[in-house]
Every structure is written in C-alpha cells, then in structure tokens.
Amino acid sequence: MPLTATLPKTNEHGFYEMRMESIGGLGANVAGKIFAEAGVLGMGFNGVNFSSYGAEKKGTPVKTFVRFCDPRQHIRIAAPVEFPHMLIVFHENLLATGKALTHGMAHDTTVIVNSKHPVDKVREVVGMCGGGLGVVDAIGIAVDEGSRPNTVLLGAMTKASGFMDPEAVRRAISHNLAKYPRMLPGNLKAFDRGFQELELTEYACSIKHPPEPPPRFVSPLGYENAPMGGAITNPGNTMLRDLTPSRTGYIPQFFPEDCINDGHCEYTCPDYCFTFEKGIDRKGKEGMINLGIDYRYCKGCLRCVQACPTEALRKAVEDEDYVREHTVPQLGRKEW
C-alpha cells in the first residue's frame, strides 16, 4: 500500500512537529500516542511521540510531542519540539500561565484551543498574529458524549492538520480503547464532533516574523549562588505557586452567611486554602472565624463541600470573575 498522504510542511530536519500543552489527567499523553500511532501505523509515516514526564501527579502541567517524517527517514532526535507546526492547548486555564505555553509559534503555526470562548477572544489571549486558530469546546462535547476531552481534540487536530486520515485516527482510538469497549462509541462520536465542529480561522499576518525563540530554561540558581548540597534555604516558598490550572471546571463557593465556623473545611482541605482568624461570630461570640478560600491553591477537589454541615460551601462551575472577587489571599498574611 502506498503512503496515503504527504506532509504539508516540514522543518529543516524533515519533520512535521506538534506540541500539546496540557495538565495531568486531561489525556494529552494518550492523545499524542493515538495521533502518532495513526500516522505511523495507519498512514505509513515515520514518527515519534513522547511527553514531558515527571512524577505521576494529576493536575500538573504536561507537554506532549509528536513528530512525523518520511517513512524512509530514520529518527534520531530525542529533544522536545520547540517550533511546532501545530500547537494544541488542552485547557484554557493554561493560557493564563503566559508566554512559555506558546513559545516557538511562527506566523503560520496552527493553534487549537479547548475553550468556550469565541475565537477572537482566544486569539487575543494567545497573542497570535498570523496562522490558523481553531477553538473547540472539548469539555462541553465530552460531557455531552460521555467521552474524554482528548478524543474531541483528536478530531480537531485531525481536521486542522489537513493531512491526517480520520479513519486512521478512528482506528487508533478503537485500538487504544480496546480494553474499555463501553467507552468506545462515545469517544468515537466525540472524535467525529471535534472533527466536524472545528472551524479554523486563518489570520494573515502582515509581517512574517520569525518564531519566538524558545526559552530554554536557565536556572537563576546556578552553581555560584545555589546553596550547598541542593538545600532550599527559603522553605515555605511553594506559597508563591499558582495552582489555578490544576482545576478542571469546578470550584467550591463560600457563603459566609451560612457558615458556623466549625472548622471542618480547614480540617479536610488537602491544599490548605482556608483562612481562619480570631473574631466575633454572628452570635456575638468570640472564636475562630472562617474568612474564606484562597483560590490560588484550590485544586477543586470539593472535599470542603462534602465536609460542610451547613451548605456554606457549595459546588459551582468555575467562573474567573467570581474567583477573582472572592479569593482570600494567604500570601503576605502575618501568620505565615
């Protein structure tokens, strides 16, 4: 069987390259595997796929890479993709993490974002000049179809690529879900919808600017100033982190008027998001008072909602404005 398609563009090493930006748990790793497998075994390209692995943690940022090339080319490179032809953002919360996410974008990079927002707004956040931009509500479709969001994005990626055979990708999905036959129909439906519903908007860029140079991370703590032996001499500094991207759609909302300050939310919260302070409660008694949640650290597990005896904590769909207005920052408080 001859090669069924040719790559629309390749870099100087002969590769069509893709980078998926995601967080652990959204299935980017599996999506990369399926997509690459479809290209290699289904369509005859040579290819490689890998992710930026760390420890097995849900909610931490992860990058997944795919490269395709001519079947006769032997693949040697093992380093990450820096200048993707296609960049896929698996969750829009990641866009808040800044430039590192979209580095290496060129004037003709195709970008796919999982978002509910309109394409022009997403373009603004991504900071795109030219190239193709496709926005798909992968979580919404996944909820409708009982699938995972990654199969929706696989559909979008297939469409946006212009060269991937949807049948090859569908076969790779079926193969990878062979162990879970009940999940297959929903995921294939989700794939089809991702494929059909993706609308790619092409933006023409007036200047054909070279891609943003990728920041190869240079640690500000080097061998001349890092404390001896790898010690961390300013511990407690994880407070500077922002774990907002770990959330995948839900937050606890706090209603102080229903709160009896019993402390069980603080007792059960894995992420230490609650602040209690000495004060006078609504009955005029002195005691510890719940001031609320620091959403900077909240991963949306909703244990506090479960623990609350009075419905002062309720599950709600995440809303950026609500979070901004209601967060009770802990950083800088005197108890730390």
Task: Map the footprint of other proteins across residues 225-264, applying CB under 8 A.
Answer: 225-226, 229-230, 232-241, 243, 246-247, 261-264
In eight-state DSSP terms, residue 178 is T
Does residue number 266 form part of the binding site for other proteins (CB under 8 A)? yes
Distance of closest approach, residue 96 Cβ to other proteins, in angstroms: 16
- The single-letter DSSP state of residue 162 is S
- The minimum distance between CB 137 and other proteins, in angstroms, equals 22
DSSP-derived secondary structure for 182-219: GGHHHHHHHHHHHHHH--EEEE--SS-PPPPPP-----
Please tell me whether residue 317 binds other proteins under the rule CB under 8 A.
no
Task: Pull the structure tokens for residue 53.
Answer: 């692995």
For residue 139, state whether it binds other proteins (rule: CB under 8 A).
no
Buried b (16+ CB within 10 A) or exposed e, 280-299: eeeeeeeeebbbbbbbbbbb
* Residues present in the chain in total: 336
Say if residues 146 and 135 touch (Cβ distance below 8 Å): no
Least distance from C-beta 197 to other proteins, angstroms?
A: 27
DSSP 296-309: TT-----HHHHH-S
- Residue choice 26, 152, 273, 312 for contact with other proteins (CB under 8 A): 273
By CB under 8 A, is residue 175 in contact with other proteins? yes
Binder among 165, 197, 271, 318 for other proteins (CB under 8 A): 271
Of 118, 180, 181, 224, which lies in the binding site for other proteins, with binding defined by CB under 8 A?
A: 224
Question: Binder to other proteins among 272, 310, 319, 320 (CB under 8 A)?
Answer: 272
Say whether residue 284 binds other proteins (CB under 8 A). Answer: no
